[in-house]
Chains A and B, each alone.
Chain A
Amino acid sequence: MFELIAPFFRHLYERTGLNFIVFYDPHEFGRFVAGISISLQLIFWSLLLSLVIGVVGAWTQRSQSAIWRGCVHAYIQAFRNTPPMIQLLFFYFALGAFTPSVDMGGYTQPIISSFVWAVISFGIFGGAFNVEIFRAGLDAVPESTLEAAESLCFSRWQTYTNVTLPLAFRISLPALTNNLVSLAKTTSLAYVIAVPEMTYVLNQVWSDNINVPEMMLLLFLYYVLVVTLLATALHALERRLVLPGYGQ
């Protein structure tokens, strides 16, 4: 792959001065690939955590206990109404200051790396929205459908897993797609706590090589590609799960 494209981009640089160094310099190419890998992992784990928080939160919001409901409500208010970058800085610098470090033989390393802090922070940020999205989905399942299940001898748990959840998930999916796509974009903020993801890596590359416009363009295209793929996948899922004859 690299051998195939390298001559072209080297040639391009020599002829036109357009310096896509990550495509012809082996060292910079390595950085670039590592950046992609970290960035995709960051997106994956952040979305996953936000989904788990969303499901658990929505479940908790329907609990009998007013205290639990209050906690979830406070969490949603706090994390929907503050900028994600401030949340990230708060987690990394404020909470990170209190987490222990381990001796790695000569130097110390915090138990929770900046990557993990970023996942925690984005998961919690996106989760706050997901709770509301899932809750709206659960609320939209008609009481009468659940009653039909009950009268067919379904237990509460059987009704929940076979009727409530499948319907709520389908109802939630369009809003969920929006939020997950938005969260995927937000992960680029991780560069402020030096997570070596795409934005951070290309920032380093353009500092070293003074090729800001080219790397900016690349960064831009990278996010267009990733976000398009994610949205396409989620929309395909939506189409697969659509309730035939309902709501369209």
Chain B
Amino acid sequence: MPSAPKSRTGDYRPWPDDKPIVSLNDVHKSYGMVEVLKGISLDVKKGEVICIIGPSGSGKSTLIRCINGLTPIQKGSITVEGQEVNDPKLDKLSLRRKVGIVFQQFNLFPHKTALQNVMMAPVLILREPKAEVEQRARALISKVRLTGKEDVYPGHLSGGQQQRVAIARSLAMRPDVMLFDEVTAALDPETVKEVLLTIKELAADGMTCILVTHEMGFAREVADHIYFTDLGVIVEHGAPAQFFTNAKDPRTRQFLSQVL
């Protein structure tokens, strides 16, 4: 186990490029008697974009939620920058500062404007100076192409716009890894493009991304590596070119024939 760099509160050293920034090893997760994840192992290197695809109920959301400690696992290990997520002594704050997550349902704070949504966590939790945070928040809002919408409430934004505010809100905490759980599934086709473009730019900037998606064309385009899950296990994985044209497992082939 490599020694972890200190959390950002101390003297921060960037995570080395050659070691996996997120590493899952034989992860088992059950809800009551139902085992949802049955031994998942995968590594994500810094700057890599991986896509997880698979049929509904195969445990993709559960996997994402385990990575930032929203739900505990029963067996195996998950590390983020060398920090064990499942450690009961884990400082959740220091983990979650490294890991941003964007959900299918946006989950913006409806009583705050777009700008306030983005500023809230850095001001409230990191206690960073308000002026500085505001400057950064405005830059992020412009980065997700929402300049002019700073003072609009989520209820008055389209789904795609809300989702991009949600992405900016996560980025405001300056995460090292971004998790996206079917972030375009609740959007109409027109707005899907805007959101995918934002994610694509983020990936191009070198952000480490773990994406759950049903957008196969997008996965093929941005992903460095694709994982296909079914019934709580990784059935098959590979680089997109090989994965989409040369899938070996019959389950993968059947799934791809349905979605492509």
A interface, CB within 8 angstroms of B: 142, 144-145, 147-155, 158, 162-163, 166-167, 170, 241, 243-246
Contacts and interface: CB of A to CB of B under 8 A. Distances in A.
B102 to A, nearest CB: 9
Given A243-B155, A244-B155, A245-B155, A153 B110 contact: no
A155 B157 CA distance: 28
B96 A153 contact: yes
Contacts of B197: none
Contacts of B173: 152-153
Contact of B96 (A144, A151, A158, A243): A151
B107 to A, nearest CB: 4
Interface stretch (B26-34, B48-56, B119-127, B240-248): B119-127
Contacts of A155: 93, 125
A151 B70 contact: yes
A245 B153 contact: yes
A29 to B, nearest CB: 47
29 contacts: A144-B105, A145-B107, A145-B109, A147-B107, A148-B109, A148-B166, A150-B96, A151-B68, A151-B70, A152-B120, A152-B125, A152-B170, A153-B92, A153-B121, A153-B173, A154-B124, A155-B93, A155-B125, A158-B124, A158-B125, A162-B120, A162-B124, A166-B111, A167-B109, A241-B111, A243-B110, A244-B110, A244-B155, A244-B156
B123 to A, nearest CB: 11
A153 B97 contact: yes
Nearest to B166: A148
Given A150-B70, A153-B93, A243 B124 contact: no
A41 B156 CA distance: 41
**Most-contacted residue by chain B among A145, A152, A162, A243 (CB, 10 A):** A152
B103 interface: yes
A152 B121 CA distance: 6
B153 A244 contact: yes
B164 interface: no
Contacts of B110: 145, 167, 243-246
Interface of B: 68, 70, 92-93, 96-97, 99-101, 103, 105, 107-111, 120-121, 124-126, 153-157, 166, 169-170, 173
Nearest to B126: A153
A144 B166 CA distance: 13
A246 B108 CA distance: 12
Contacts of A153: 92-93, 96-97, 121, 125-126, 173
B103 A152 contact: no
B101 A151 contact: yes
A152 B96 contact: yes
7 closest A-B pairs by beta carbon, nearest first, are A245-B155, A244-B153, A148-B107, A152-B121, A245-B156, A153-B125, A151-B101
Contacts of A150: 70, 96
Contacts of B155: 243-246
A97 B146 CA distance: 68
A78 to B, nearest CB: 35
Nearest to B156: A245
Contacts of B107: 142, 144-145, 147-148
A144 B179 CA distance: 16
A195 to B, nearest CB: 40
Contacts of B101: 151
B99 to A, nearest CB: 8
**Most-contacted residue by chain A among B109, B120, B170 (CB, 10 A):** B109
Contacts of B96: 150-153
Nearest to A247: B155
Contacts of B169: 152
A246 B173 CA distance: 27
